[in-house]
Structure 1
């Protein structure tokens, strides 16, 4: 909306007429209701001279009764013994009970004295197992038959679970504790199993792999065959 041009004579005339009209309406209202307005604004009771501070003070005095009552009730409650939902609240020291390396069966305190700790000891468990003293001697002997490279080579021949208590990297996921796997527990006790020779010499001949050897069939939206 464009602004009003106050320099236009027609606009000036319009504004003057509206100002005079508003002034006449205000004068008419005052002449009609002036007496009532004066009556409402006149104080007819005795003036007591109260201030804002007196009003706040009176509100505080009225509330002192409730404060005294609540103080007596609070003093009675403070003498009561609080109820405990649980007699024992477990803390950090209780987290080790039944979950330590010794309790799980991964270590022996006789082999590693670091594991013989009380439950109140909340320090971190050791990462590596104790190194064999005979292997430690390899580092401090002369090369080429001893030294750092020979020590690392001998250590690489050991299984990861013989050097560490837990898997420390994702590369150990495959091959970790193979002695506990299905293949080790079901390995042949005497000699090897020659599957091809056994199947060829059987009465029914060789058989295909079982169904659980195949890749799983994943349902897709593709209806076209491969």
Structure 2
């Protein structure tokens, strides 16, 4: 709901009229109930002789009717026979149809952690198993192997859905499972490319690019 613009002259007039109307209604109520207010303020009333025990007893007696009704209902329900329609779902039915294997996001043959019984309610694995060839990169020397090369091949060469079962961060939502889209992400087919910027050095004279052809016999043609 938008805030009220208290600087608007029409709104100021409306608020003033509302406040005056509220003040008149309160004053009218005080005049009509002046006798009750005076008696309540002066405590000039007849003593009834109630004690704390009497107040507690009256409160308990009010709840006895509901307590008696509930006891009768419970006694009748205890004599009834439970209705069992087929097999009662248990622990083995909680994961059925909702596991990673059931939703076809992974296979137990590829990830041994997914080969679990239905009674196992542990949390599903977050990351997919790492390729053994990529693991070997961590234990080999640099510069062609090591941690940096592993991260480059693991993170930059593979899409997030190839490394994780679900999107773990909000930034992965954009572009998640792009392989399933019929509109493949690709560059423009007829975009302009400045080849000289990639193949010719700006620091001095350089040979012709590799895509230049040798001139033919006819000097008018290339």
What is the TM-score normalised by the length of structure 2?
Answer: 0.46
Mark the structure with the bigger radius of gyration.
1
Structure with greater helix share of residues? 1
